[in-house]
Every structure is written in structure tokens, then in C-alpha cells.
């Protein structure tokens, strides 16, 4: 039928466009993960955008995309700020 021919055409064309069947991503979403000690790790699928440390410490680094590591000599807690698109 003409209907099925048109539908097939649309499907082919859209798949050539790389169009995402589940729809485009909408929003930046973030959570904080707080841990005792000097490391805090984001859940799988989220990525560190910043870290906070106990004892007023502002020296930190990110290990492997999703773990915050606070560097000062004395640290009692570490928080990872973790974001992804949803």
C-alpha cells in the first residue's frame, strides 16, 4: 500500500539521520555522594564535576572519571558532586 511504502521511506530516512528513537536528552542532573575518609565515588554512569573535602580542604583530584580524592593530610569526609544527562 501507499501507507506502508511511505512509512518504510520515513524509517529509512530517519535511520540515515541518526535519529534517536528514544528521543533527545533533556536535562543535566546531579547528586552528591558523601563518604567518610578521603575518597567518594559516583554511581556508575555519572561523572565527577567537583569535589568537597572535610577540614576546609580544597585540594582534590579525580581518579578515573568518577572518584573524588581529597589530598590534605587530615581529611574526615569527602563529597563527590556527580552529574549525568537524563
Closest distance of CB 3 from a copy of itself, Å? 7
Applying the rule CB under 8 A, the residues between 14 and 73 that interact with a copy of itself are: 14, 17-30, 32, 34, 47-62, 65, 71-72
**Number of residues in contact with a copy of itself under rule CB under 8 A:** 50
36: helix, strand or coil: strand
Closest distance of CB 55 from a copy of itself, Å? 7
The number of beta carbons lying within 10 Å of the beta carbon of residue 30 is 13
Closest distance of CB 69 from a copy of itself, Å? 10
Q: Which chain residues interact with a copy of itself by CB under 8 A?
A: 2-3, 5-7, 9-11, 13-14, 17-30, 32, 34, 47-62, 65, 71-72, 79, 81, 83-85
Amino acid at each position: 500500500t501507499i501507507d506502508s511504502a511511505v512509512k518504510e521511506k520515513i524509517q529509512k530516512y530517519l535511520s540515515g539521520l541518526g535519529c534517536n528513537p528514544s528521543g533527545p536528552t533533556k536535562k543535566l542532573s546531579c547528586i552528591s555522594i558523601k563518604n567518610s575518609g578521603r575518597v567518594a565515588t559516583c554511581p556508575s554512569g555519572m561523572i565527577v564535576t567537583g569535589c568537597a573535602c572535610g577540614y576546609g580542604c580544597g585540594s582534590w583530584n579525580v581518579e578515573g572519571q568518577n572518584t573524588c580524592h581529597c589530598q590534605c593530610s587530615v581529611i574526615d569526609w569527602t563529597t563527590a558532586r556527580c552529574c549525568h544527562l537524563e
